[in-house]
Amino acid sequence: MEDILVPIFVCVVLPVAVVLITSLTKMNVNKSRTQLLMKAIEVNKDVDVERLVELLRQSRQQPKTPEELLNLRLLRGCIFSTIGMVLILTALILLLTGTMFYSEIIGFTMLPGGLSLAIGISYLLVCRLTRNQIKSQAESTDTATRKDI
């Protein structure tokens, strides 16, 4: 019976719970934003509602600079690559100590390790390409500024 309940829980209940939690969170944020606007209108009739809505929208979406995005990609790439290497090294050490290759523990460490390593390498590649693109954009703006002077 437990062999059936665990996959059902993981494949059905868990995704439904995640979607439900995210949906309720978004609804709660929208509701609190609406209540804030209503209170502002009640307190002060002369308030610029469009400006207030724009300010609330800006506070929610805080845009990141290209350097911040670059650092975030570098951080994620390093984290995923390190986790992948650790899992693959664990699997290789288990193989060297005599664990059979078809053992569940080898598959449990090798598959996520390879996947994590691939994700980490892709983040690092995107980070490298983005850095080159930012440098070329900075150089092109510098040369355009010099031509204007």
Contact criterion met (CB below 8 Å) for 60 and 25: no
DSSP the chain: -HHHHHHHIIIIIHHHHHHHHHHHHHHHHHHHHHHHHHHHHHH-TT--HHHHHHHHHHHHH-PPPHHHHHHHHHHHHHHHHHHHHHHHHHHHHHHHTT--TTSHHHHHHHHHHHHHHHHHHHHHHHHHHHHHHHHHHHHHHHHHHHHH-
Q: Tokens representing 8?
A: 């059902």
pLDDT in tens, 102-148: 777 787 888 899 999 999 999 999 999 988 888 888 888 767 666 65
- Nearest by Cα to 78 from 112, 28, 126, 132: 126
Contact criterion met (CB below 8 Å) for 56 and 33: yes
Q: What is the pLDDT, as a whole number, of residue 122?
A: 96
Contact criterion met (CB below 8 Å) for 84 and 114: yes
- Residues 79-91, mean pLDDT to the nearest whole number: 94
Q: What is the pLDDT, as a whole number, of residue 57?
A: 72
Q: What is the pLDDT, as a whole number, of residue 33?
A: 81
Q: What is the pLDDT, as a whole number, of residue 61?
A: 57
Task: Give the highest mean pLDDT range of 3-7, 74-78, 97-101.
Answer: 74-78
Q: What is the pLDDT, as a whole number, of residue 40?
A: 80
pLDDT in tens, 43-84: 877 777 777 777 777 655 565 788 888 999 999 999 999 999
- Nearest by Cα to 85 from 37, 44, 124: 124
The number of C-alpha atoms within 13 Å of 100 and in the hemisphere containing its C-beta is: 3
pLDDT band at 20 (very low <50, low <70, confident <90, very high): very high
Q: What is the pLDDT, as a whole number, of residue 85?
A: 96
